[in-house]
A and B are shown apart, each in its own frame.
Chain A
């Protein structure tokens, strides 16, 4: 493997005026992005800003509708991820893609094993892997170790070795610290520095301000598919960066919030609860109130929902009326959860609307069969046909069926995890109306969302989660900046 001439002048990667639409929805418009050898270029933006799509275009997963990509000055067209790999682009995804039962060397050379007389040359594989590990200064594990026994941080090193073994000159790291423990983050920092010394250009996608400022030389901010700014990291403050990422008009109408007279008694109270993912959770949910929860990816948003709902229960702390140890206990106590992943966790897709709507009622033997039609009207399912299989419904209508499912047992507390994910704009407004309506009728609502406009538009107060803790409470109508500051700020900032 040849070493690459470290020259800060040459743009290894140059993406120009990249545009992309999905199903008529514009996801990227005229985005420019450059990367220099030996430099870390951070790419930041909210959920939906277009970071992932831009990276997938670079990886050859999606073809751009318009624009050009040049690598080391010569234009390239990627029709397939393999084209990108051959051109020296490697992506380290958030979800690692290694085979746990194979050795490090086998993973590094998966699909392109060196051969000797028609058989796999293990010795050569292990030799080359060991050499690369050594060059990266990694001595905590060897080429023969099983990947499944390594920590997540070590597995990231394996991914990077894999990238280097194919001469990657551009490495994209997508939220690399999201699944790392605190002490592992330091190891990652070291690794990134060594990659820089090798002259690799790194595109670093992260929400975390500290990492961006610790590691990157350049930062590009995307918002709603447009490049807002590219700056030298040293010349920008955290506050400026957050303002660049957010600060947008609310794009649709939200139902009016609860007045003070509408907020009633405490229906659920959590004191000092925690489990492996969450710490010191204090929370009170009141009748009539929508409590929003904000937090970055990996902050414990979904874990909080599942803990309160008894699916991944709290292991300690106090909760009234009770701390559920199972889903059934939670349902019996009047708690419901509208899950984040509707298709995997919310619905039995090949069953009818009616069967899905009655699932909870049947599971806990509380009859509601006679009311199904009434409920489907109530959630404004169009058409309110109980016999259709739910898989043929739009995302919005599916979500209404999930709502109907919970309404059959009239929970006192309903948790929404990403209530409008994958739902079109029209159905979004309808679901927002319904959530508010339920609150107005005396339900306590806990709403978790990564869409800040939704959170701000709907919540009567907003709690912010960071690293498994509730770190602050903001009043209704707080700004995106205020939320992002709390959610992204590190202790030091």
Chain B
């Protein structure tokens, strides 16, 4: 049940294979994984934020910023690749830190914090580029997103790290915080710190996804557009409860693969790419509604204490 999403994924892949059997060959499947890699990584990062009971809407803009900044700073110069990579990672961590601190310490709802961050970053990119990004990425930068082996290895590494983190002390306390913040705090969990770290992880994931997308999709001011919603849809599709406390990161990443498979299938049958947003919208609402149907049961459980409360 926890991993039901992989059954859906298998069915979708089978449906794709009917029209295009190439996907069942190793090369075809790996190409699919490469295409899905940025979304899988974003979903892994988004998982930590969602399971703690928050949202991160800023990751799409952050991806765009990463790519645009990389192109301008590298500007075709191979020697600049590694310092810029380090800078991009630092930028992702910093944006996450700001999101986390504003949400956890200033108690601004994360929906607002990260929506604000999304607008700030979008505006900043526009201001800096004047609408048309300049510069070019280096070959050694583009290899991460373009080369199948690199992309698959990075995805596997991020996935493994995410799984280890959810099983570690940090992950367990974060999930408990998302489930019942008060109980966690009264058990000595540093609730604010755990949440801030979740946003930092999401920022880091966005930086990595941005680096890969730059190589894969090239430089444009639209490269990250809508990715925050795709990432949230993927996580929800993986059965992770909005509101926190429930769901696995493996299923969240499975949700990303499933969403990518859905897009592929739509493409294959010649349905307009514009429908992608519609599909995501239906998935988010349907998944949350399905989750909400079970909620009332919690409230009607008879509480033995009630009869005696005075």
Contacts and interface: CB of A to CB of B under 8 A. Distances in A.
A359 B179 contact: no
A178 to B, nearest CB: 11
Contacts of A45: 310
Contacts of B310: 45-49, 51-52, 297
Interface string A220-262: 0000000000000000000000000000000000000000000
A359 B187 contact: yes
A176 to B, nearest CB: 14
Contact of A351 (B169, B179, B182, B307): B179
Contact of B187 (A52, A363, A365): A363
A333 to B, nearest CB: 12
A346 interface: yes
A345 interface: yes
Interface string A352-381: 000110111011110000000000000000
Nearest to B309: A52
A421 B179 CA distance: 22
Interface stretch (A22-30, A124-132, A195-203, A440-448): A22-30
Contacts of B183: 344-348, 359
Contacts, number: 97
Contact of A358 (B172, B190, B307): B172
Nearest to B194: A363
A22 B183 CA distance: 29
Contact of A359 (B173, B190, B245, B308): B173
Contacts of A143: none
B304 A360 contact: no
Contacts of A405: 187
A23 B172 contact: no
Contact of A311 (B179, B186, B306): B186
Interface string A34-54: 000000000001111101110
B188 interface: yes
B197 to A, nearest CB: 14
B139 to A, nearest CB: 45
Given A22-B306, A363-B173, A348 B179 contact: yes
B29 to A, nearest CB: 33
A350 B307 contact: no
B134 interface: no
Nearest to A47: B310
Contact of A348 (B169, B184, B303): B184
A327 B169 contact: no
B245 A48 contact: no
A362 B172 contact: yes
A345 B187 CA distance: 9
B176 interface: yes
B302 to A, nearest CB: 6
A64 interface: no
Contact of A47 (B187, B189, B308): B308
B211 to A, nearest CB: 33
Given A48-B310, A348-B179, A339 B186 contact: yes
Contacts of A328: 188, 190
B246 A350 contact: yes
Counting chain A CB atoms within 10 Å of each CB, which of B175, B179, B186, B303 scores highest? Answer: B186
Nearest to A418: B305
B182 A345 contact: yes
A69 interface: no
A331 interface: yes
A22 B307 contact: yes
B185 interface: yes
Interface string B268-310: 0000000000000000000000000000001000111111111
B307 A53 contact: yes
A422 B49 CA distance: 34
A345 B188 CA distance: 12
A395 interface: yes
A344 B183 CA distance: 7
Given A51-B310, A365-B169, A351 B245 contact: yes
A337 interface: yes
B188 A351 contact: no
Contacts of A434: none
A74 B154 CA distance: 79
Interface string A376-410: 00000000000000010001000000000100000
B188 to A, nearest CB: 4
Contact of A23 (B188, B189, B304): B304
Contacts of A48: 308, 310
A424 interface: yes
27 contacts: A23-B304, A47-B308, A48-B308, A311-B186, A327-B187, A327-B188, A328-B190, A337-B186, A344-B180, A346-B186, A348-B175, A348-B180, A348-B184, A348-B245, A349-B179, A350-B245, A350-B246, A351-B175, A355-B172, A355-B176, A359-B173, A359-B176, A360-B187, A360-B188, A362-B169, A362-B172, A422-B305
Interface of B: 169, 172-173, 175-176, 179-180, 182-190, 245-246, 298, 302-310
Closest 8 CB pairs of A and B: A422-B305, A348-B179, A363-B188, A48-B308, A22-B307, A348-B176, A363-B189, A359-B187
